[in-house]
Amino acid sequence: MDKRERLKELILKKSVFFGDFVLSSGKKSSFYIDARISTLFPESAYLIGEIMFELLKNYEIDAVGGYSIGADPIVSSIAVISHIKGEPIPAFIIRKEEKSYGRGKVIEGNFSKGMKVAVVDDVITTGGSILKGINKVKELGSEAVVALSVIDREEGGSQKIKDMGIDFYSIFNLQDLGIKK
């Protein structure tokens, strides 16, 4: 079984729930994808890191990051895989709010002005979190050149990213997972 098929199997087993749910966008849904269960599970974290690292090899980026909490395990996985492969990609995490102590940073880790970066998230619905991340990167003087997600719910978020002139890739969309809206 290839990496993508195995990851699909793990996500469907661990992270997809059916019922009545309210999404972060406020929309109601008959299913919920709790991707953090998969992004924090050893095998699927490894597979996500491998697949996203391969996608990122097509880009000259200085770092990979995203909005906390959805991106945290993903960026760590990519960073570890990139080190193992001998092509290190440092990681950063965007805080929900700026620290009020220490250096008062809103972006933690390996980030500085003038970088070209990849921004990731676990699930894209309307794109709220990843778009905030992209805008924060821009506000702090760097450029998001590509955005990645594990799953695209195909509810407008990925198109908003593309409309900003940023390449977007997801490992899966709902059709790939066999989920109907």
Per-residue pLDDT tens digits for 128-174: 899 999 999 999 999 999 999 999 999 999 999 999 999 999 999 99
* Average pLDDT score, the chain: 93
Identify whether 8 is part of a domain: no
Identify whether 181 is part of a domain: no
Identify whether 130 is part of a domain: yes
Contact call for residues 77 and 53 (beta carbons, < 8 A)? no
Nearest to 119 by CA among 158, 154, 176, 163: 158
Average pLDDT, integer, range 113-135: 95
Digit-coded pLDDT (tens) for 13-26: 999 999 999 987 78
- Give residue 101's pLDDT band: very low, low, confident or very high (50, 70, 90): low
Identify whether 158 is part of a domain: yes
pTM: 0.93
Identify whether 17 is part of a domain: no
Identify whether 143 is part of a domain: yes
How many domains does one find in the chain?
Answer: 1
pLDDT at 105: 78
Q: Is residue 27 scored above 90 in pLDDT?
A: no
Digit-coded pLDDT (tens) for 41-78: 999 999 999 999 999 999 999 999 999 999 999 999 99
Identify whether 37 is part of a domain: no
Nearest to 123 by CA among 30, 5, 37, 9: 37
Question: What distance in Å separates the CA atoms of residue 44 and residue 67, rounded to the nearest whole number?
Answer: 20
* Domain housing 74: 44-175
Identify the CATH number of the domain in which residue 88 sits.
3.40.50.2020
Q: Is residue 12 scored above 90 in pLDDT?
A: yes
Average pLDDT, integer, range 97-106: 66
pLDDT at 135: 95
Identify whether 151 is part of a domain: yes
CB atoms within 10 A of CB 37: 17
Contact call for residues 131 and 114 (beta carbons, < 8 A)? no
- Give residue 99's pLDDT band: very low, low, confident or very high (50, 70, 90): low
